[in-house]
Amino acid sequence: MSFAEFVNYKAVELARHVVRMTAAAGSGHPSSSTSLAHLTTVLMYHKMRYDLANPWNPLSDRLVLSEGHAVPIIYAAYADLGGVVGADPRHGRKLTLDDLGTLREIQSVVEGHPNPAFGFPFFDAATGSLGQGVSVAAGLGLAARMDGIDKTIYVLCGDGESREGQIWEAIDFLADQKLANVRVIFNANGMGQSDYVSPQQGPEALAAKVKAYGLRPITIDGHDPEAISKALSAKATGGRPPVVIAKTVKGWGVRELQQVGYHGKPLSAKDVEAALEELKLPALKPDLVLCPAMPKGEAPAAPAGPIAMPDPDFVALAEGTKFVGGAEKRKLATRQAYGLTLRALGRASPRVVALDADVSNSTFSEIFRKEFPDRFVECRIAEQNMVSVAAGLAAAGKIPFANTFAKFFARAYDQVEMAANTCANLKLVGSHSGVSLGADGPSQMGVVDAAFFGSLASVRTPKGHPACIVLNPCDAVSTYKLACLMASYEGMAYMRTLRPEGPFLYPPSEVFHLVGQKVLAKGQDLTVVAWGYMVLEARKAIDALKGEGIACGLVDAYSLPLADDFLEAIGAGEGTRLLVVEDNYAGGIGSAVATAAAARGNVHVTTLTPARMPKSGRTADDVLAYVGIDCGSIVQRVKAILGKA
């Protein structure tokens, strides 16, 4: 039996599994799956070098299924090969053909779309929201290069999916970074969900685009085993990987599935019978048995565990930068303090990697960049790609800090959510958060970030962590401490930093927890709860109120989720009055404190968030006043609550 005969046999066998498992599930995407029958077989039985018994093996080639809905065919191959699954490397078990019958069941590891978080570690990233896989693969490839591991990252992409701009951000990135270890394969089956794909995504157009982006297209028949094998063996030229465009048939092997409109539909019981008739296995059983080769080499020793960091000495931290003066005067912007901390983390752990999207001189990741150019990844103005690359780096054991303006992370919220679904160990730091940046106006202000990331903070991952922890420090010391905690924490965290410079509020020895708060002042009349910039504004207000005989406390509620004992920890009891002030739209700590308080029903909480859309103003104070959250607004609100207005 020849190689081609084996692949053809397996392709039929896998397609049969796909038809049955999706019918059993009552949903799923058999037509997309069978279009990948030969590509999957050549990859998983022959081309990829990987460790079936240990899917966590860092030396293994990886497969990213960007068109996640086609996953049944991957499950079929993996079960046929007896690959190991499990949420924990200590308790793996082989996936069986019987498991395929549990597709999409609530207890099953074989999810509707790929997700390592539910026990399928063959994958590195949750996919299913389209267009993200090439970026994830680029992150995996980058990590392998950093670690000196000789492996290949394969990524299967739909043609319709290639309409997503992120795919082309990723192709630009592959070319920029000369990532020779990534192999993109476009599955050009010509059909989308509701229609045929546009000619703009046809195989000729794809080839022309790939070439224009500086990579070499190789167009093949995606059901021809020899052609697939040869194309996947093509070498990179000048560091630039070839890109395979595989022409395939959606619903390969089953005529019923080949119609437009059959996307995402399993066959009925009757049609399954007919399909299995069509998908006839050759009489000859394979005498050639291919299975994946083991990966080569030895894994580099990866330092694990928390990163030990001393208390900060900002004058020392600022050495060699333009921030020595600020550190001496104890006046730094939190974004500056963060940049200095990032460099210190880079010195403390080789796992720390930084990414930026052409604003490193604003986020101050440039301080890290200068010292660690090999661990700094310039992603240019393409935030979606940056976040998914970071997710790939995280999957490969790095601690990636991705940086841009808080506002511009909104460009990648879908990618952030997918990384959260993956339980990715991702660190996101958004500068210029809130409205205090002033002059540039709302297009540059992170004001919905608190609600978005705060929403993720409300749920637990399968590992039991919040899907994201949100941090909003108000001074240099808390920025340092929280950034260090972020780095040591194995999970997703998002930190907001600020444009304006501010004073140091905490001594270097202050102890922080990732989820927590600090009582900065006590006062019998009312307690102001704030985070980030608003702690500074609230301090001013409290001073002003003191002059009028009103005693207010102040809490720095720097994290979301709130600690479970938040109200107790700040001493809130029967009849306590709280005023929560934020420089973001509602959905941040105000909502969280109100939710905690309303569950008790005896704590009075007033929330103060921007009342109207911000606009440009020459100073932070102008804008804070415009949206009604400046010192004067806080003073007024406190007096109104206390009936002293």
Q: For 90, which DSSP code?
A: G
Q: Are 504 and 478 in contact (CB under 8 A)?
A: no
> Considering only CA atoms, which of 320, 341, 333 is closest in space to residue 362?
333
CB of 10 to its own copies, least distance (A): 26
Instruction: Kindly tell me which of 77 and 117 has the beta carbon lying closer to its own copies.
Output: 117
> Considering only CA atoms, which of 465, 468, 363, 379 is closest in space to residue 426?
468
If binding is defined by CB under 8 A, does position 444 make contact with its own copies? yes
CB of 198 to its own copies, least distance (A): 5
**Which of left, alpha, beta for 601 (phi over 0: left; psi -120 to 50: alpha)?**
left
Number of Cβ atoms within 10 Å of the Cβ of 525: 15
If binding is defined by CB under 8 A, does position 452 make contact with its own copies? yes
CB of 353 to its own copies, least distance (A): 17
Q: Are 64 and 124 in contact (CB under 8 A)?
A: yes
Enumerate residues 392-421 that contact its own copies by CB under 8 A.
Answer: 407-408, 410-411, 413-414, 417-418, 420-421
* Residue spans of alpha helices (H) in 468-554: 476-488, 533-547
Q: Which of 100, 188, 367, 597 is the binder for its own copies (CB under 8 A)?
A: 597
Query: Annotated catalytic residue: which of 366, 383, 537, 582?
Result: 383
Q: Which residues contact 518 (CB under 8 A, 6 or more apart)?
A: 478, 506, 510, 512, 555, 556, 558
* 3-state secondary structure at position 241: coil
If binding is defined by CB under 8 A, does position 382 make contact with its own copies? yes
* Residue spans of alpha helices (H) in 28-132: 30-35, 37-42, 72-81, 97-100
Q: Which of 13, 61, 224, 366 is the binder for its own copies (CB under 8 A)?
A: 366
If binding is defined by CB under 8 A, does position 196 make contact with its own copies? no
Enumerate residues 311-350 that contact its own copies by CB under 8 A.
Answer: none
Enumerate residues 174-193 that contact its own copies by CB under 8 A.
Answer: 175-176, 192-193
If binding is defined by CB under 8 A, does position 593 make contact with its own copies? yes
Q: Which of 90, 106, 270, 298 is the binder for its own copies (CB under 8 A)?
A: 106
H or E stretch covering 555: strand 552-556
CB of 601 to its own copies, least distance (A): 3
Instruction: Kindly tell me which of 60 and 363 has the beta carbon lying closer to its own copies.
Output: 363
If binding is defined by CB under 8 A, does position 259 make contact with its own copies? no
Q: Which stretch binds its own copies (CB under 8 A): 4-12, 275-283, 343-351, 621-629?
A: 621-629
Instruction: Kindly tell me which of 42 and 450 has the beta carbon lying closer to its own copies.
Output: 450
Q: Which of 150, 602, 640, 644 is the binder for its own copies (CB under 8 A)?
A: 602
d(CA 74, CA 71): 5
The string of DSSP letters for 243-310 reads: EEEEE--TTTT-GGGGSTT-TT-PPPHHHHHHHHHHSPPPSSPPSS---PBPPPS-PPPPP-SPPP-P
Instruction: Kindly tell me which of 227 and 448 has the beta carbon lying closer to its own copies.
Output: 448
Q: Which two tokens stand for residue 254?
A: 């089953």
If binding is defined by CB under 8 A, does position 214 make contact with its own copies? yes
Q: Which residues contact 577 (CB under 8 A, 6 or more apart)?
A: 525, 526, 527, 604, 606, 641, 642
Catalytic residue check, 161: no
Instruction: Kindly tell me which of 56 and 213 has the beta carbon lying closer to its own copies.
Output: 213
d(CA 501, CA 331): 6
Q: Which of 458, 523, 525, 636 is the binder for its own copies (CB under 8 A)?
A: 458
CB of 412 to its own copies, least distance (A): 8
Q: Which residues pair with 604 in a beta bridge?
A: 577
Enumerate residues 521-580 that contact its own copies by CB under 8 A.
Answer: 575, 577
Enumerate residues 143-172 that contact its own copies by CB under 8 A.
Answer: 160-161, 163-169, 172
The contact pattern for its own copies, residues 42-81, with x = CB under 8 A and - = no contact, is --------------------------x-------------
d(CA 549, CA 88): 59
Indicate which residues carry an active-site annotation: 383
